[in-house]
Chains A and B, each alone.
Chain A
Amino acid sequence: MDMVTILSYSERIDLQLELATLANEITNKLSGNSISAVIGYGIKDKVDVLSKNFDKVFVIDSEDLKLFNPITYANVLLNIVNNTKPDIILISDTKRGGAIASALSALLDTGCITEVTKVELVNDDLVIYRGAYGGLGLAQTKILTSPKIIAVKPGSYPRPTAIKNGIIEEMKVDIKKPEIELVEFRAKETGARLNESDVVVVAGRGVKKKDDLQMLEDLAKILGGVVGCSRPLSADLGWCPTWVGMSGVTIKPKLYIGVGVSGQIQHIAGIRDSKIIVAINIDPTHHI
């Protein structure tokens, strides 16, 4: 590959910056262009930071994008793809991003890999790593078609230091709104950003009462960290807005403390890259 064009998209500016790091890594080795796509409603004013990290930023801001639908968004993104002819498309693998990447892959009839944690350049070709079998394994994969669509898990790459002075260009496109109506929206309490903390204390099913979470909060406070839950405590009991593990949040803190966490592989998949894992459990033979 000589002169690659990389197009990055995320619905979140902070995750766009993580993609910029990966895009820079590739364009530093193979020369090329790193382009960012921003699409949505009322987002125009937020893109300045991206111009410091990408060579060019395309913005499509329209009221017709107020209602999110992955197929609508993929079709809008397709306009920028047709305009820039990228070799690689990076999309952050959030719930929205993963679905947009998938829809785009169907529209372009090209390969897409989701759940990606690492991308390596080997002999000018990309080797793409993704979790496999519920997070127990790691798969090395290759996309055989172009453009290659890669959906990267949030937190896989750090944010870059601003080094560019890119241009921002607004685009107007025809948008076919989905025949879907939003009846109601109920915001979730956002809670602590688990994947941004150096210390995470996680409560598992061994924590029997919600009141006992306070002990974990106290411990986290001493260590300068935050508290999270395993899936059953969040999804079944509703003690936390989100959970640590596959389909929840992937974390790699310096210190992970699991309290009464049994260590289901979906949970392990979400904490595997933590530096130190401390497990507090009544059963010394538990998987964790």
Chain B
Amino acid sequence: MPNIIVCVKQSYDVQQLRYDKVSKQFLLAEAPKKMSDTDRRAVEEALRIREKYGGKVIILTVGNQDSIDAIRQAYAMGADEGYAIIDKDYENFDTNNVAMILAQAIRKMGNFDLVLCGAESTDGYSRQVPVKVAVYLGLPFINFVRELRLEGNYVIATSDYEDGLYIYRVKMPAIVAVTLDINEPRTPTPSAILRASRKPITQWTLKDIGVDGVKVHFKVLNTYVPEVRRKRIILDASTDDKIVNAVQKLIDALRQERII
């Protein structure tokens, strides 16, 4: 009966992220947040493993008070337990810091067979954290997994690389990062969401897991929306008689740009 720890991140919902048209800065304070898309699939995969083989699904996150919502979302899907490492400086943490904190928390939690992560977060997209957790824990790591099953004490995982699919077999405990393609996550029912809001969550500080302070390795100087000047020419080809004219204008424009 495997115990599975799923690492999740509460991310900015980039589809709904807006920016100031003049300063080109993102309006982060008002931006809605949600659990990262790949992390949601990691939770779903853990739940499917539990449905087949038994065991427990334990959610772990590092963040600020907002991040606790990611655990609530996972509870609503059916997760058993949730742990949040909360720190007011979280926004300044880099990927080494987050991975090290996750690894320390996992060590303290103990008693696990598998750690699942989303291969990348929806907002940061660095793809750095899962492999770093594996380095810090000294455990085998399989990346970009789009198919997963257990076979006794072993994980059989299909890794999706540029040149092909690699099917690996590794003994647990192991760290596995999953991709968006691994499953279609369930939508929680309203009553499950309500129950999730009342379920207890264990909150730890850095001190609780034996981390005294973090060293930051890089900093972001500025994040902005790059300006790309486009001509924004719209050609109307909405009816049959307009198509010929529109195509001719497009060809003329491309000739003018010396593309054709």
Contacts and interface: CB of A to CB of B under 8 A. Distances in A.
Judge: A and B partners, yes or no.
Answer: yes
B95 A141 contact: no
Contacts of B125: 115, 131, 134-135, 246-247
Interface in B117-138: 120, 122-123, 125-129, 131-132, 134-136
Nearest to B170: A180
B29 interface: no
B135 A107 contact: yes
A181 B181 contact: no
A111 B162 CA distance: 26
Contacts of B218: 111-113, 141-145
Contacts of A144: 216-219
B244 interface: no
B127 A102 contact: yes
Interface string B11-35: 0101101010000001000000000
B181 to A, nearest CB: 6
Consensus secondary structure, chain A interface: mixed
Given A99-B127, A99-B143, A107-B135, A133 B12 contact: yes
B259 to A, nearest CB: 5
Interface stretch (B71-79, B203-211, B220-228): B220-228
B180 interface: yes
B23 to A, nearest CB: 12
B163 interface: yes
Nearest to B160: A95
A225 to B, nearest CB: 11
B131 A265 contact: no
Contact size range, B:
35 or more
A33 B135 CA distance: 30
A132 interface: yes
Contacts of B170: 179-181
B48 interface: no
A96 to B, nearest CB: 7
B198 interface: no
A264 B122 CA distance: 13
A183 interface: yes
Contacts of A105: 95-96, 128, 132, 217
B126 to A, nearest CB: 5
B259 A255 contact: yes
A251 to B, nearest CB: 15
B168 A137 contact: no
Contacts of A114: 126-128
Contacts of A275: 257, 259
Interface stretch (A22-30, A81-89, A160-168, A184-192): A184-192
A256 to B, nearest CB: 10
Contacts of B50: none
A133 B26 contact: yes
Nearest to A278: B250
Contact of B161 (A95, A127, A180): A95
Nearest to A109: B96
Interface in A130-186: 131-145, 178-186
Interface string A115-134: 10000000000010001111
Contact of B169 (A96, A113, A141, A180): A180
Contacts of B14: 133-134, 136, 265
A111 B95 CA distance: 9
A17 B225 CA distance: 30
A250 to B, nearest CB: 12
A29 B259 CA distance: 34
Nearest to B222: A140
Given A109-B215, A179-B171, 7 more contacts: A71-B134, A101-B128, A105-B132, A113-B126, A133-B12, A178-B140, A180-B169
Interface of B: 12, 14-15, 17, 19, 26, 94-96, 99, 120, 122-123, 125-129, 131-132, 134-136, 140-144, 156, 161-171, 180-181, 215-226, 228, 230, 234, 236-238, 250, 254, 257, 259-260
Interface of A: 68-71, 74, 94-96, 98-99, 101-103, 105-107, 109-115, 127, 131-145, 178-188, 190, 199, 223, 235, 242, 246-247, 254-255, 264-265, 272, 275-278, 280, 282, 284
Nearest first, the 3 closest Cβ-Cβ pairs linking A and B are A111-B217, A134-B14, A111-B218
